[in-house]
Structure 1
Amino acid sequence: MISLTLQSSSPSTAEMPRFFHPAKADGSLSLLAIGDWGRNGTFNQSRVAFQVFPLYTALLFQMGVIGEELDIDFVVSVGDNFYDAGLRDVDDKSFQESFTKIYTANSLQKQWYSVLGNHDYRGNAVAQLEPVLRKIDRRWLCLRSFMVDAELADLFFLDTTPFVKKYWKHPKKNRYDWREVAPRKRYISGLLKDLEVALGESTATWKIVIGHHTLRSVSEHGETPELVKLLLPLLIDYGVDIYINGHDHCLQHITSSDSYIHFLTSGGGSKAWRGIIMPTAENLRFFYDGQGFVSLQLNTTRAKIKFYDVFGDVLHEWIISKEFLYHYIV
């Protein structure tokens, strides 16, 4: 476990804290991404997380095994960390029952960088941001929006839930914790300005943006109109390479004719198999309506993306080259 370093920010980026996470000695970086997972081990959450488990006398590989194989530097959580309504407070046992006691493999004892999802906002959203949780489990770091400088790559973690207008309209159906967020328009405006400054200042080889909600998706939730309108133009203008999200409980890889961005959905951390696919005009490279997770391996010239199922089997693999030679493998 590294010691987190909070770097100083200029006043223009004061709302987006910047953390430093060193790459490997050879300059490479590897990570896992998973979302929509916190169900106290139910709905195959345990199977996705455990290093190995016996089934029909076979050893089946999971996140822990892949994490060790790739010597991951950290894990990215793309939100909906605790179902069905986030945490009640910092003493909520769901934190340990859904996180600490689930992701126990040695390779997963690395830093976890997390964003909030819409289900997290249905509880005490502020509780997930509290530093006291890091005393319970030092791997945990969750802020509304922040940046991780990993030398080779800059990762921008965004709080996407406030963008979605429908969450603000029916407070009696699902109450959302808008403390420190409302009013909505001012919050979103400030966040987008901070992101634009941070993207403009980034000189990293790879720019990766992480948010809970979908930009491109062929599954149940489809595209998020507010993000397509307000966020996507920034990602295109500033040359973002990859956008990683959850929200749809499946695995997806989509490319687009209007940019070089690769849209990765890693929302298969627990409950899945919704049986919904709605093809769009975008380039659907891969879709899997089930549980699993994603890995990224980065160096100065290429990024290797892999999607895995709950057995650790590779379902889809793709290489992004900085020379823009895209090689589809399987």
Structure 2
Amino acid sequence: MPRLIANNITIPREIQNDCDAGDRGNIKNATADQMATASYIEKVCAKKDCDAFVSVGDNFYSSAIDFSTNGIIRFEEAWSNMYTGKIFNNTPWYQCLGNHDVVKGTSGVEFQTKIAPLYDSRWYFGTENLPYYTYDLSGKDWKATFAVVDSDCFIENYQKSNSVYQNDYTKACYETKQEQVDFVEEAFSKSDAQWKFLQIHHGYVSSSSNYTELAPFVEIVSKYNGIVVNGHDHCLAHYYANNTNFILTGGAGYPEAGDCNNGVKLGPFVKYLGANEQAAANGFVTMDISKKSVNVEYYTRDMTYEGGNLFPVKNDLEPAYSFTIEAKKN
């Protein structure tokens, strides 16, 4: 509470007057899939020595969180306390908004962008308290610039009155969406990094729904030989279109086979789909970056359950799929 006050955050009466430990019993536990993924990430990253985590949104599926007692409890239970241990404790998480994160409108967005970083310093959302920002990661001989945007502001269907995602926030940011396009152009044009990434929630190419409204971003990425990392579809996939690699990392929480078209490959742009007729793979993606290349590895968890296995994986500590992106001259 002192940190919130010091940062000029108004603390709702609900939180001031309803802050006893007994209320924590009312919050639902995170899903079994998310818990399993957290444990799985820890095992793989202990082997690979991961030093940063990149989020592609839908951080609190499916009803988002806001600055309320339940919102704070859910943030702690479904994120802060979910990701603990040697690999997680001091590792930054570069966050991004997804459609389920904007369900509560401005109040929900402001909680994730302004208040959550004060609760847990690992949760990073830039320095300007905006839903879009840029950051750099670097190694011994390389540098990468990541531009993070909120694609919810671009989706035409979200502007319809019957959309669950139409609210004060999405209506306002839709009117100023060009600011995000200009922001990415400026971030990439000023960057001296060998690698440039667009970190976004919705997919421009997909096995489910292609969001062509995002074309202005993809044009910029292609111009600067960049890479797209996105989510939204609840599966893992690799697409190549517009001379650009699209890395879909949407299998960390709730995987869904339908988002990968039940494992049926569609078109030449689909290089990998982590799904079969029964389920989509639960897992995540790693990127090993060097000056000359980015090695991308897809880790899929063996989904054994009592009586069967939804997604058999012989050795889930080895990547199920990988590819390498060679550096190009800008």
Q: Confirm or deny a common fold (TM above 0.5).
A: yes
Partner of 1:138: 121
Answer whether contact 2:160 2:166 (CA < 8 A) is retained.
no
- Do residues 319 (structure 1) and 324 (structure 2) align? yes
Partner of 1:327: none
Q: Which has the higher contact order (CA 8 A, sep 6+)?
A: 1
Determine the C-alpha separation between the residues in 1 that align with 2:46 and 2:171: 38
- Do residues 115 (structure 1) and 96 (structure 2) align? yes
- Do residues 283 (structure 1) and 264 (structure 2) align? no
1:113 deviation in Å? 0.6
Percent of aligned positions with the same letter in both sequences? Answer: 25
Give the direction of change, closer, same or farther, for the CA distance of 1:273–1:201 in structure 2 (3 Å limit). Answer: same
- Do residues 42 (structure 1) and 31 (structure 2) align? yes
Query: What TM-score do the two structures reach when normalised by structure 2?
Result: 0.75
SS at match of 1:262: strand
- Do residues 234 (structure 1) and 239 (structure 2) align? no
> 1:302 pairs with 282, 290, 293, which one?
293
Q: Which amino acid aligns with 1:68?
A: A
Deviations 1:114-141 (A, max 9, x none): 01100000022221112x3233222111
1:239 deviation in Å? 1.8
Q: Which amino acid aligns with 1:215?
A: Y
Partner of 2:232: 247
1:90 deviation in Å? 5.5
Q: Which amino acid aligns with 2:100?
A: H
SS at match of 1:106: coil
Determine the C-alpha separation between the residues in 2 that align with 1:85 and 1:64: 26
Answer whether contact 1:90 1:128 (CA < 8 A) is retained.
no
Partner of 1:24: none
SS at match of 2:225: coil
Partner of 1:84: 62
SS at match of 1:249: coil
Q: Which amino acid aligns with 2:144?
A: A
> 1:274 pairs with 241, 250, 257, which one?
257
Q: What is the count of residue pairs matched by the alignment?
A: 266
SS at match of 2:172: coil
Query: What TM-score do the two structures reach when normalised by structure 1?
Result: 0.75
1:290 deviation in Å? 2.0
1:175 deviation in Å? 4.8
Q: Which amino acid aligns with 1:233?
A: E
Answer whether contact 1:117 1:213 (CA < 8 A) is retained.
yes
1:43 deviation in Å? 4.4
Gaps of 5+ in 1: 1-38, 51-61, 325-330
Partner of 2:110: 126
Partner of 1:105: 85
1:285 deviation in Å? 1.4
Determine the C-alpha separation between the residues in 1 that align with 2:234 and 2:273: 11
Partner of 1:69: 47
SS at match of 2:168: coil
RMSD across aligned C-alpha pairs, in angstroms? 2.1
Answer whether contact 1:90 1:127 (CA < 8 A) is retained.
no
Answer whether contact 1:90 1:133 (CA < 8 A) is retained.
no
1:105 deviation in Å? 2.8
Answer whether contact 2:240 2:269 (CA < 8 A) is retained.
yes
Gaps of 5+ in 2: 1-27, 275-279, 303-315
Structure 1 segments (4+ residues) deviating >4 Å = none
- Do residues 164 (structure 1) and 149 (structure 2) align? no
Determine the C-alpha separation between the residues in 2 that align with 1:244 and 1:298: 14
Partner of 1:208: 197
Answer whether contact 2:133 2:149 (CA < 8 A) is retained.
yes
Answer whether contact 2:236 2:284 (CA < 8 A) is retained.
yes
SS at match of 1:167: helix
Give the direction of change, closer, same or farther, for the CA distance of 1:192–1:175 in structure 2 (3 Å limit). Answer: closer
| Structure of greater Rg | 2
Partner of 1:94: 74
Determine the C-alpha separation between the residues in 1 that align with 2:297 and 2:248: 12
Determine the C-alpha separation between the residues in 2 that align with 1:318 and 1:67: 19
Q: Which amino acid aligns with 1:254?
A: Y
Deviations 1:15-34 (A, max 9, x none): xxxxxxxxxxxxxxxxxxxx
